[in-house]
Chain A
Amino acid sequence: MTSLATSTSTAEVATAEAHGGHADLRLFGLATFLVADGMTFAGFFAAYLTFRAVNPLPAGSTYELELLLPSINTMLLLVSSYTFHRSGRNLLLGQMGPCRGWLLLTAALGAAFLGGQMVEYFSLPFGLTDNLFASTFYALTGFHGLHVTLGVICILLVWFQTRSGGRVTSAAPFGLEAAELYWHFVDGIWVVLYGILYLL
């Protein structure tokens, strides 16, 4: 059965519909994209675990890694997820001052994580091409670090957009919400990565 609208007045409805647009699906789209992005990591993780199970390392190499720095880094990221959450809460309540403050703190924590990662890279006894584990280590942490870098840039961008007169407001929170979703995703990936790369 088909019902058809025939009256000319529906043309106005159509115009309104067309320009008013549909429900905002951008977060849904981003979430779908993050599923895809997560699958890239899943592929890397699967590769790493298989390498580890099947391919013996050359004599003298080891899977053991220094734990202190990465553990601090993990804490930094977990705290940054919380600070971002606080920022989002403040935005929805219209408290722009605290919102922007928490944002900056989140960006600072992200930057501190990247700094810690750099320190770790320079203190490691192996380079990119030394052995299979070294390559996989740098590929995994590097790919994740790329995500963190992008996240910090996004946070600073959102921070800029939350200035008075900016495009991110409590009535239009998409920019911040998107960055927050992405940031939580990147943190979640790190937790898995930390688990299988450092703890396992």
Chain B
Amino acid sequence: MTVASPNDFQDSLQPQGWLRYFSFSLDHKVIGLQYLVTGFLFYFIGGAMAGVIRAELASPISDFVSRETYNEVLTLHGTVMIFLWIVPVVNGGFGNYLIPFYVGARDMAFPRLNAVAFWMIPPAGILLIGSYFITGSAQSGWTAYPPLSLTTPALGQVVWIVSVLLLGGSSIFGGINFIATVLKLRRPGLRLMQLPMYCWAMLGTSILVVLSTPVLAGTLLLLSFDIVAHTGFFNPALGGNVVVYQHLFWFYSHPAVYIMVLPAFGLVSEILPIHARKPLFGYTTMVYSIMAIVVLGLVVWAHHMFTSGTPPWMRLFFTIATSFIAVPTGIKFFNWLATLWGGKLALNSAMLFSCAFIVNFVFGGITGVALAQVPFDIHVHDTYFVVGHFHYIVYGGTVFVIFASIYHWYPKFTGRLLNEDLGRLHFLLTFVGFNLCFAPQHWLGLNGMPRRVAEYDPSFTTLNQISSVGALLMAISSLPFLYNVLVSAFRGQVAGDNPWNALTPEWLTSSPPPVENWIGEAPLVKHPYGYGVEEDTLSVEAATGRDLWSGAGRR
């Protein structure tokens, strides 16, 4: 009997070593990292665009770029950050890397579909960003509301639609894969209610993806007919109805907020127990609140449209439904706080980012509930208040969790730890910069500064400049981060297989893991959060299991 080396598993035609990351690899870990790195490239591109926006808004007149360019940049910033950075990274990136480990599988359910889904992203991104340099990109914002999207230059808008359709397709393929993997590919003996929370988050997210993304795809098809074939679906001049576009668009794009934030909820639920050395508080309520958010998330879309002539019954229904979402979300917050309460906290970078996530997201959540109230919403609709609220959710929420996750799982990806001092510096700059950038925008919005306009009333100058300084700090904060991830890959402290003494299955193999995840059978982890509980102290030691695989599994 011989132990098979990991390479025996691999198709001999597949490239080996670093070349794998540029190939049509079917390995879920390679695909996960492909998503992650691609996503970060787009993050920096989208960040540069945010830089242009904040530079323009540092003065009340339009002086940094032309007005058309400003429109293009804000459209691309929104589209890139949502469709090419956050959605692919929290779903495709971490999902592909972690879900097969969590369910005890060797790969995703449909590895080839998985690779196809990833490889739809680079062409879409290149199309989208290339359009800026070649034909001029779309100018109608990431929402592409008609009639604005029908009157701005058509070519850029069509390229934008094609690009978003590609990304939507990629997202749907990914969603199908996650649903099949979580529901059908679990290791024998592993029950649904024993899965790590991220699996539940991804299951819920994928249900939303599968149910809502196709509606956006269909809507954008109709919009493209309006632009190319001069039909009048959404063109009032031809008897069409713009509000129908808004309904269909938000039927996807409100769930899209949960598609961006539910995976982050899952990731933070993995990180907190490990660094607090306590079981995740309220596992069952956590699962039910995720599913409640999925259901409610599908029936709240019109709260984006209170100023679109929505009838009173609709306002009433969507206000109440939206307010209800605060309940499951609140449950999750108290669960996280209870997880931290009395824990043995290790305040490392992963934990700092996770805790900051809780703070930021509570703030973003409260302004969200405020925005759900019709009288208030009508007052601040399309102002910087909405911009501030949204960025507290997706940046203060999801992006903070992405950074926490990078610090947490980097040793798994590379076998080396990130530098903690640089990590804390990164955290400090990001946290201060983020709040400096987006907190003043709430005040600006309340006082009537509209979004998406390059010029503003001079009385708003000081706060806009504070906001721009915050953006500059955020840009600077990415320098220690970049240096850290690039240099630590080669010079970082060797992590060992399980540097955090974690119990979740991805740590119960070597770092980085072998091609098919485990040499030998996948471990059966029935209590992924059994920290600090008396009877589980033993299993912590058993679970560290480094000696079992660390030698054989390393490539």
Contacts and interface: CB of A to CB of B under 8 A. Distances in A.
Interface of A: 1-15, 17-18, 22-23, 25-26, 28-29, 32-33, 35-44, 46-47, 50-51, 54-58, 128-129, 131-132, 135-136, 139, 143
Contact of A40 (B175, B218, B232, B523): B218
B536 interface: yes
A42 B298 CA distance: 14
Contact of B239 (A28, A38, A50, A58): A58
B130 interface: no
Interface of B: 1-4, 8-9, 105-106, 109-110, 113, 172, 175-177, 179-180, 184-185, 210-215, 217-219, 221-222, 225, 229-233, 238-241, 244, 247-248, 251, 503, 508, 516, 518-521, 523-527, 530, 535-536, 539, 542-543, 545, 548
Given A29-B113, A29-B176, A129-B229, A10 B214 contact: no
Nearest to B547: A6
Given A11-B4, A139-B222, A5 B523 contact: yes
A38 B213 CA distance: 11
**The 7 residue pairs across chains A and B that have the minimum distance between CB atoms:** A5-B521, A43-B215, A135-B231, A40-B214, A10-B520, A39-B214, A40-B218
B521 A40 contact: no
A32 B215 contact: no
A43 B172 contact: no
A18 B519 contact: no
A62 B548 CA distance: 75
State the main secondary structure of chain A at its contact with B: helix
A19 to B, nearest CB: 8
Contacts of B545: 4
Contact of A47 (B184, B231, B248, B539): B248
Contacts of B523: 2-5
A129 B230 contact: yes
A58 B231 CA distance: 15
A36 B539 CA distance: 42
Contacts of B526: 1-2
A125 B258 CA distance: 45
Most chain A Cβ neighbours within 10 Å, of B105, B214, B503: B214
Which of A14, A18, A26, A58 is most buried by chain B, counting CB atoms within 10 A of its CB? Answer: A14
A138 to B, nearest CB: 8
A29 B110 contact: yes
Contacts of A44: 218, 222
B530 to A, nearest CB: 7
